Every structure is written in C-alpha cells, then in structure tokens.
Amino acid sequence: MQLILSRICNGKPPKNVYSSENYAGSIKNITAIKFKGKEFNNARIYCKDYYENKLRIIVLSELLESKKQTKLTHKEKNLIKKVSDYDY
C-alpha cells in the first residue's frame, strides 16, 4: 500500500493502479486505488482526491472488496456517488 501511495503522490501513477472514477458530470474528484489479481479479487478503494490551500488531499473512503466486470455496475456507481456526496 505504501508503494502505491508513493506512486500516486510522486507523479502520475499508471491507470491500472490509480484512476479517475468520474462517470457522470456531477461526480468530481473521485478516484480508485486498484488491487489487481486473484489474491486481491480486483478490490478497489474509492477516494476523494482534491486540493485545499495548494495541498493535495486524498481521502480513502470506501472499500469495494471485489470487482468482477470491466464496466461499472449499479452497485459500484452507487458507492462512487456515496463517496462523492460525503462532506469533506
């Protein structure tokens, strides 16, 4: 996990590790840390990634224990919307 966070904070990480999940215009600054492979069940941690006073803030908010499809399911979209609606 420390290596993943280091890659995120020190530049542009590969999309297979960290990417935007803004699937609709009302969803902003939502990202996912991706854990690939059978040992991790393609888990995701959905995050809010934003800047405040020139400081980058990444809030790890919700865990999706397993992702089985490449497209976002209704359940995943609801989880992303939930993270987007949190008051940070």
Angle at 62 between CA 76 and CA 31, to 5 degrees: 70
Token duo for residue 71: 């497209």
Beta bridge partners of 63: 45
Per-residue pLDDT tens over the stretch 18-76: 999 999 999 999 999 999 888 999 999 999 999 999 999 999 999 999 998 989 999 99
Other Cβ atoms less than 10 A from the Cβ of 43: the count is: 17
